[in-house]
Structure 1
Amino acid sequence: MRIKILFFISLLTSAAGLFAQTVIPLYTGAIPNSVPNNMKEITINWDGHFGGYKSIANPTLEVYLPAAAGANGSAVIICPGGGYGMESYQAEGINIANAFIKQGTAAFILKYRLPSDSIMKDKSIGPMQDAQQAIKRVRENAVNWHIEADKIGIMGFSAGGHLAASAAVHFDSSFITNKEHTSLRPDFMVLVYPVISMTDQLTHAGSRQNLLGDNISLEKINFFSNEKNVTEKTPPAWITHSEEDKVVDVDNSILFYEALRHHHVPVEMHLYPKGNHGFVLSQPTEQWMRPLFDWMKTNGWMK
C-alpha cells in the first residue's frame, strides 16, 4: 500500500509542475532466477558522502519525472557502473537523472541485482533480466508517466554500459516473463566508457569474473560479447570514451562502433585523447552531456 501511495503522490507532483521522485520495486511479484538468501544490501560512502551500493539482491527503479510543462515525452533508463561488483549510484545515477529531467526527459535509475551465486540460479542473466524488466515496466506505464512508448532509451556506464548494450543487442531473447509481448527493445542506447566485450583480448577482467565466473564456455563468452551480436535491428547508439582509459580499453567502444556501422545502425561516437576511466565525472554533468542532448534532439527523442 505504501508503494501505491508514493507512486500516486509522484504523479500528482509531476502534474503540479515539480520534479517528482520515488523508488518502486522493479518486480511486482517474485524476483525471477532468485534463490532464498539473507544478503544484506550495503551502502557505500566515499569521503563521507553517499556513493552507491553493493550486495544488491532486491532491484528497484528510482523514478524522476520532469516538470509537466517542459516534458518532451522521452525517457532514459540509467544503469550505473561498478564492475558488476557495486553500483556508482550517485555519480552515474542520481546526477545523470537530474540532468535529464532539466531537459524534459524522464529518467529511471535501475538498481539492478549484482551477479552472485548466493542469490541467483544463474548469475550471468540476472542483470539482463532486470534491464529487460525495467524496459518493460517503463513502456507499459508510459501513459501514466507521460512518456511516448517509442522514445525509451537505455544508458550505461562502464559495466552498466555492458548491461545497457546487452539489453540492446539481445532484446529479442526474453529472459523474463512477458505474457503481454511488450517490446523489450530500447529505442536508443547511450554508452559511457562501456565494457563491451567478454573476450580474453579486450574484456575488463573484473566485470567478466563477476558476471560469468570461472570456466566459461566459448558460447557464453560470445553471447555476452556485444560486438558479436549486433544486427540491423540493433537500436541507434551514442558512445563516449577516453583513449587514455586504463581500466576499460577504448577498443571496446571502437569495436562496437565498427560493428554498428557495418550493420548500418546509426551511431555517433565521441573519443577524447585525455582522461582515465570515469573521465566525464570530473566535469560538470550538463557540460559533458551537451553533445548527447544535441544527438537526442537531432533524432527526435528530445524537443
Structure 2
Amino acid sequence: MKFRHALAFALAAAPVPVAAQLAVPPQGSATPPAGSAAIPLYGKDTPGSPRDEVETRFMGRETVIRNITYPTLTPILPAPGKANGAAVLVLAGGGFQMLSLQNEGWRVAQALADHGVAAFVVKYRLNPSERDDKAWMATMARLMGGASPAGKAGKPPEIREPRATDDALAALRVVRARAGEWGVDPRRVGMIGFSAGAITTLNAVLQATDRQPGPDFIGYIYGPMAAVTVPAGAPPMFAALAMDDPLFGNGDFSIVSAWHAAKKPVELHAYAGGSHGFGMGTPGTTSTLMMSQFLAWMQSRGLLEAKARP
C-alpha cells in the first residue's frame, strides 16, 4: 500500500479518498473561536506542556495538532439567553496521532452553541511524535507500512491511547462540577466523538462506574462498528457513518445491533457517500445532514428543552 493511502487509512483522519483531498476545502477554523479559553483539565496537576504541541498541515488540507501532552477543555458557550441547559463534549479524531480540530472540533462546537447547546472541545493526550514534520511523516510511513525500523516485516501498531479515555472522563467531571457556572444541567451532559474520538467516547461509556459516571447520551460518528458488551447503564446512542468509509463502511452495524438488543435507545444514519472523516459533511453528499440530524435526535429525546436546573 502506498504511503499516502496507508497513512490516511491508519490515522483515520482523511475526509475523502486521497486522490481527491486537495480539492476539498478545509472544514472550519484551525483555531478556537475568539474569546474562548482553554482550561487545564486537571488544574495545577495537569501533566505535560502546551509547548510540546506541533501544528502540521496534513496532506495539504487542514491544520492538525499532534504531540499533545497537556490535556485541556475549551468551552464554546451559546449566546446569552439562548442556552437550553444541554452540554456536549466534542472529541475530534486523528488515530491518536493527531487531533483534527479544524474538521471535527471548533466547527462542530460552534454549530452546537448556535443551537443553544454548551459545547466543550476536549484536547486529549496523544501518542508522542517527532517535532519535525518530515521525520514524523517518515515514521508514520514506516509504521503504517507494517515494517520495523530495520525494514523487517512487522505487525502495524494498534491504534489506541488509554490516557485519552482518562481525559474524556476527567472532562465529564469538570463540566458537571462547574455546571452552574456554565448554565449546564448536569443530567444532560453528552459526548460526540469522531473516529478515534468515537472510540474514546465509547470507552468513556464502557469504563464508567457509579463513582465516575459516563456521558448521558453519545454521538458515535464513524467509529468502529464491531459489537461490544453493552453495559446496563449505557446511554442513548446516535450513530452515523458513510457506506463508502474505507475503515468501517462494510455494511456491518454490529455495535448498533448490540445497543438495540440490550434495549438501549439507538439511532443509525448510514450515508451513501462521505468516506471517512467527513466531519460536518463532505460537499455533494448527504453526510452534510449529520449535525442537523444529531440535533433533531437530541430534540426528539427532550435534550434541547430549556429546563430549570436542579
> Same fold judged by TM-score > 0.5?
yes
RMSD: 2.8
Superposition deviation, residue 76 in structure 1: 0.4
Structure 2 residue aligned with 1:205: none
Q: Distance in 1 between matches of 2:34 and 2:215?
A: 24
Structure 2 residue aligned with 1:177: none
Superposition deviation, residue 30 in structure 1: 2.3
Matched-pair contact (CA < 8 Å) for 1:64–1:101: yes
Superposition deviation, residue 255 in structure 1: 1.2
**TM-score, normalised with respect to structure 2:** 0.70
Structure 1 moving runs of 4+ over 6 Å: 36-39
User: Mapping of 1:1-303 within 5 angstroms?
Assistant: 21-31=36-46, 40-46=52-58, 51-116=63-128, 124-172=161-209, 181=211, 183-195=212-224, 197=226, 227-250=227-250, 254-279=253-278, 280-283=280-283, 287-303=289-305
Superposition deviation, residue 267 in structure 1: 0.4
Give % identity.
Answer: 30
Greater relative contact order (Cα < 8 A, sep 6+) = 2
SS across alignment from 1:231? coil
Q: Structure 1 pair 60/302, CA: closer, same or farther in 2 (3 Å)?
A: same
Q: What per-residue deviation string (whole Å, max 9, x for no partner) do you get for residues 34-64 of structure 1?
A: 6x89982101235877622011100111110
Q: Distance in 1 between matches of 2:255 and 2:83?
A: 32
Q: What per-residue deviation string (whole Å, max 9, x for no partner) do you get for residues 229-278 of structure 1?
A: 312311110000111111334556x1110110111110000011223112
Matched-pair contact (CA < 8 Å) for 1:132–1:167: yes
Q: Structure 1 pair 108/283, CA: closer, same or farther in 2 (3 Å)?
A: farther
Q: Distance in 1 between matches of 2:62 and 2:245?
A: 25
Structure 2 residue aligned with 1:200: none
Letter matched to residue 301 of structure 1: L
Q: Distance in 2 between matches of 1:297 and 1:194?
A: 23
Matched-pair contact (CA < 8 Å) for 2:49–2:70: no
Q: Which sections of structure 1, spanning at least 5 residues, go unmatched? A: 1-17, 174-180, 198-226
SS across alignment from 2:81? helix
Matched-pair contact (CA < 8 Å) for 1:19–1:66: no
Q: Which sections of structure 2, spanning at least 5 residues, go unmatched? A: 1-32, 131-159, 306-310
Equivalent residues, number:
241
Q: Distance in 2 between matches of 1:172 and 1:132?
A: 10
